[in-house]
Structure 1
Amino acid sequence: MIEYITPERIANSIMQDRTFTGHYLIVEGNKDYKFYNKFVTKEISIKEAWGCEKVKSIINILKERNYNRAIGVIDSDFSVILEETIDCDEVFVTDFHDIEVMMLKSTALYSILDLFCSKEKMVEFFKDKDALDILMELGVEIGLLKLANKLYNLGLVFKPEKPEGNQLKYKEFVSDKDLTFLGKDSMIRTVVNYSRNRTGKVASTEDINEKLNLLSTEMYDQAHLVNGHDLTNILFILIKKVLKSSNKMLHDYNSIEDSLILTYDYCEFVKTELFSKLYLWSRDRGINFFKPELTDQVKVRSCLPLAN
């Protein structure tokens, strides 16, 4: 069971592996593994920590033991909005809230829409609307609720305790007819019902509304406010229910996320700050971190101060 895999256990397994002489990349979970595995060489071994805090703990444990062949990458989450800094040079963060937002803010979104949906239905639905704008506007609603929960300890839960558990029912506050938002009351009621008996105490609906209204007046950077898993669940509703895709590869939001990873291009990743920081870190240490396809893109774009 992944919840019982401690940072100490993972750190021990890294230090005890005498057969691997490369560097370790510690990431939060399986989707991160799939994403970064596309881009790194065989000299990099990716380890899943199963959580943001566990990534940081593993890196700190290894540093305390003078082990210098590991770095971590974590989701930014709300750190930019809350002006939180990570006091560890060996831990890097995503450009936006998480890797899913990074991918959705790229050509990968439109690639999977073309893959799953008919051109006729897309033309009819979108007209003068942009797919990313629609997703972001809906994602902001639940993003604000998640931020309120973090700031005010409202006792809300948004995901299952275990990956195989029941997911939040997004269709109860996002219409599966036309993808319109069904209102804050529907969203709060859905999340409160999902949270019951899973935390110590869930705040009253009135208190949740009050805190949510406080944050609704603020101007947050949408790319740091929205959560990628919310967006992919909403995107699944759009593709499966609204645009009525019959593609047999489409099962749930996991299908969406896996498809994004498959279609997310090298050219897109080299544009990110995360890539730049990882590239410079590895270059300065003479580490063969990224596959040639990426380093070739860097040379073509001349977007980084490459060594002579």
Structure 2
Amino acid sequence: MREFLTVNRVANKIRQLRETYSGTFLLVEGSSDKVFYERFVDKLACHLEITAGKPSSKQCAIEILAILETSNFQGILAIVDADFDHLQNTPVKNPNLLRTDTHDLETMLINSLAFDKVIALFGSEDKIIKFGRDLRSALLESCMSVGYLVWVSQSDGLNLKFDGIEFSKFVDSQTLKINELKLITEVINKSQAYSLTNEDIQKRLTNKKSSSHDPWQVCRGHDLVEILSIGLRKAIGSNTAIDVKPNSDESKNTLEGILLLAYEEIYFYETQLYSEIRLWETNNPPFKVLRNNV
């Protein structure tokens, strides 16, 4: 019921704004998404609206879009996280709905040179050399089990809880490798899903895994940043937990916030999402989203 109220409230707000505003309305999932896209949009021609809600901001964005389109509302576009859509070959039939290239916005940041800037700022050259592995590859390899577990939970309807899990309980601070059994135990305990066994979950994970899956689609950005934070405290750096705090709703002085700041416009030009936004503009005159110099 609360989701229904939230969706309708945002849809009605946009309808009211249309009475005095003739530009594009861009729906995004959360505050960090808004901070990201604000750097590229034409603020006179495009208004950003956050769709945060339950059960998911993504679903809210899709439903708000559908409500407005039912009344033939023009100049509305939604950009959402792909999540597992690319892996599941989930088609997008709505030209007004675009998805991130990789799993989510945070993976797009880590897959760019913004990541290298953060490593140069917080990493220790000696420790990185001693670590002896490509950092992105190491993070992705470690994070795959978490991503697969999230995917299994969603596809099998297990409703496991991942918010607040303590990565230090299952991530080795020196190698950044994950102990899968400890991960499963932590998630089961956090979810209070005691009817599930480690053996059952491991079997489901094994069935879900495939070497053909793109790690950038399996891994969630928030999880990658959590593991990166652990690494920057010991394996590849000597920072304090406060210095490399993964994320927070209250502060931009976090790894995710710094990644956002380190992301340059030129990185965005190279994404499929950028091309799709430009195509949307071409197909929806006179509505605009991006600045002319972007």
- TM-superposed CA distance for 1:56, in Å, is 0.4
Match of 1:52 in 2: 58
Q: Does 1:229 align with 2:214?
A: no
Separation (CA, whole Å) in 2 of partners of 1:119 and 1:210: 40
* Equivalent residue in structure 1 for 2:245, among 246, 251, 258: 251
- TM-superposed CA distance for 1:293, in Å, is 3.5
Match of 2:30 in 1: 29
Separation (CA, whole Å) in 1 of partners of 2:234 and 2:127: 12
Q: Secondary structure at the match of 1:67?
A: coil
AA partner of residue 36 (structure 2):
F
- TM-superposed CA distance for 1:191, in Å, is 0.7
Match of 1:114 in 2: 120
Match of 1:130 in 2: 134
CA-to-partner distance for each residue in 1:76-99, whole Å, 9 max, x for gaps?
111111121233111101111111
* Equivalent residue in structure 2 for 1:205, among 198, 207, 211: 198
Q: Which runs of 5+ in 2 are unaligned?
A: 249-253
Separation (CA, whole Å) in 2 of partners of 1:276 and 1:217: 29
The 1:275–1:252 alpha-carbon spacing in structure 2 relative to 1, beyond 3 Å, is same
Match of 1:298 in 2: none
Counterparts of 1:62-73 in structure 2, within 5 Å, are 62-73=68-79
Aligned-pair RMSD on alpha carbons?
Answer: 2.1
Separation (CA, whole Å) in 1 of partners of 2:241 and 2:213: 36
C-alpha contact 2:23 2:288 (8 A) present in aligned 1: no
Separation (CA, whole Å) in 2 of partners of 1:23 and 1:202: 49
Match of 1:282 in 2: 281
The 1:180–1:218 alpha-carbon spacing in structure 2 relative to 1, beyond 3 Å, is closer
User: What TM-score do the two structures reach when normalised by structure 1?
Assistant: 0.84
Separation (CA, whole Å) in 2 of partners of 1:171 and 1:131: 18
Fraction of identical pairs, as percent: 28
Q: Which runs of 5+ in 1 are unaligned?
A: 160-166, 295-308
- TM-superposed CA distance for 1:114, in Å, is 1.0
Q: Secondary structure at the match of 1:71?
A: strand
- TM-superposed CA distance for 1:75, in Å, is 0.7
Q: Secondary structure at the match of 2:77?
A: strand
Deviates more, 1:54-63 or 1:83-92: 83-92
- TM-superposed CA distance for 1:100, in Å, is 0.9
C-alpha contact 1:116 1:247 (8 A) present in aligned 2: no
C-alpha contact 2:118 2:259 (8 A) present in aligned 1: yes
Aligned residues: 280
Match of 1:162 in 2: none
CA-to-partner distance for each residue in 1:100-141, whole Å, 9 max, x for gaps?
11111111111011122333333333x3x2111011101111
C-alpha contact 1:77 1:97 (8 A) present in aligned 2: yes
Match of 2:108 in 1: 102
